[in-house]
Amino acid sequence: MRRELLLALRRPSDVATALLFFVIVASLFPLGIGAEPERLRSIAPGVIWVAALLSAMLSLGRLFAADHADGTLEQMLLGAAPLGLIVAAKTAAHWLVSGLPLVLIAPLIAVQYDVAARLYGVLAVSLLLGTPVLSFIGAIGAALTLGLRGGGVLLSLLVLPLYVPVLILGAGAVAMADAGLAAGGQLELLGALLIMAAAFTPWATAAALRISSE
C-alpha cells in the first residue's frame, strides 16, 4: 500500500482528474435545471452519488495497467505473498487516492444544492461506506479487462450493473434522512456490502488477474 501511495504522489494529475471530474459533473446539474431550491434538494443525493460513482470508475483502468506494462504484475503473480492480499492493498490505496477525496469534498458540493446541514453527516458516511465497495468491485472489472483493446468501455459495461445496489442504498440513505426517517438501515446494508466486498473481491480479482495474464 505504501508503494501505491508513493506512486500516486508522483502522479498528482491522476488524483486531480477524478476529483475535478466529480466537481464538474456535480456542478453542471444546477446550471442545467435551474436554481429552484426545492428541486435541487430533491435531486441532490442522486446527483452527488452518480458523480462519485463515475469519478471512481474513471481511475479504475489505471489500477493494474502500470504493473502490467512494466512486468511488475508478473512478479506479483510469482511471488510468495498471497496475491489476494496484494490486490486488497492496491485497492485500498486506490480508494485512499481516488475515493476519500470525494468523501471529504462532498459536503461542499451539497452546498450548491441547498442541502440541509443536518444531512452532511449522513451523506459523508454513506460515501465513506459506499465508495470502497465501488473500488473493490471495480478492481474485478479492471483485472478482467487488463490489456484488452477498448477495455475502458468493456469495464464500464461490466461494473455499472454491479454498482446499482450501492448507488440505491447510498442515495436512499440521504433521501430517508431528508424525509425525517431513520437512515440506519441503508447505512447498515452499505456496511454489510463493504465487509463482503473486502472479504471476497480481492480473491476474485486475483483469479481474474491470473486469467488475464495467461
Which residue in this structure is represented by grid cell 500500500?
1
- Say how far apart CA 35 and CA 38 lie, in whole Å: 9
Position 11 pLDDT exceeds 90:
no
Task: Provide the CB-side half-sphere exposure for 92 (13 A, CA).
Answer: 13
Q: What is the mean pLDDT of residues 31-36?
A: 79
pLDDT band at 200 (very low <50, low <70, confident <90, very high): very high
Position 80 pLDDT exceeds 90:
no
141 burial level (CB within 10 Å; 0-12, 13-18, 19+):
buried
Number of C-beta neighbours around residue 214 at 10 A: 6
166 burial level (CB within 10 Å; 0-12, 13-18, 19+):
buried
- pLDDT tens-digit readout, 36-47: 888 888 888 889
Structural domain of 181: 2-213
User: What is residue 168's predicted lDDT score, i.e. its pLDDT?
Assistant: 93
Percent of the chain residues topping a pLDDT of 70: 99
User: What is residue 195's predicted lDDT score, i.e. its pLDDT?
Assistant: 95
Contact 135, 95 (CB under 8 A): yes
Number of domains making up the chain: 1
Position 2 pLDDT exceeds 80:
yes
- pLDDT tens-digit readout, 112-145: 888 888 889 999 999 999 999 999 999 998 888 8
Per-residue burial over 5-23, b if 16 or more Cβ lie within 10 Å, else e, is: eeebeeeeebbebbbebbb
65-69, 116-120, 199-203, range with the lowest pLDDT: 65-69
CA dist list (Å): 72 to 67, 124, 151, 156, 201: 5, 35, 20, 25, 21
